[in-house]
Amino acid sequence: MSENKEQIESQDEVEPPKKNTSKTKKILFVGLGIITFVSLIAAVFLMIRKTSQHQSLSQVETSHKEQHPTPNEKGDNSKSEESVAPNFGDTYLISEMNLNLSNALENRFVSLGVAIEYHGGANQLNELKKREAQIKDIIIRTTTSKTRTELLTENGKELLRREMINRINEVCDKPVQNVFFTQFLLE
């Protein structure tokens, strides 16, 4: 009997105490459920946000068409179909810039690439090259005066673009037609 007692005691010593695996499994399932739920909510939020941004862009395009009708919309039917297509000018690329935004407490920045549309040919290209430092300064000052919340909206980006056009035209001999954002990343 003492041998049986020793065997039982040795078995107790060898076997580690059993953990409560059912509680661990429950915690894992709850944790995975929460992660899945949060992921689904984030996906739905991003889809809704993307849809609303697309609708905002459509509204800006519609208002732009109303403000700048094509020749056929003006009632000028004397032009051929070839001349109805918009006359897209040449573009001058400004290299990508990483700029801090105006609210220093947020510590946010924007990575921005800009292309400037012009119709003045080689003479205007030479002027844009000559004034590149001024143009970069305008882009920097204009962009860094904005906050992240202003630039998150399509309207905010459009206002920034128009302000850049106006300020660039103040320093150039021939006016530029448009400013395009070739890259726009808010962090």
pLDDT digits (tens, 9 = 90+) for 59-107: 545 544 554 444 444 444 444 444 444 688 899 999 999 988 887 677 7
Per-residue pLDDT averaged across 31-46, rounded? 82
Q: HSE-up of 42 (CA within 13 Å, CB side)?
A: 6
Cross-strand partners of 109: 100
The token pair at 174 is: 């021939």
Spatial separation of the C-alpha atoms in residues 61 and 36, rounded to whole Å: 38
Question: pTM for this structure?
Answer: 0.54
Q: What is the 3-state secondary structure (H, E, C) of 129-166?
A: HHCHHHHHHHHHHHHHCCCHHHHCCHHHHHHHHHHHHH
Please give the pLDDT value at position 13: 55
Residue spans of the domains in the chain: they are 16-83, 87-186
Spatial separation of the C-alpha atoms in residues 169 and 176, rounded to whole Å: 6
Spatial separation of the C-alpha atoms in residues 116 and 16, rounded to whole Å: 73
Please give the pLDDT value at position 23: 81
- Please tell me the CATH code under which domain 87-186 is placed: 3.30.479.30
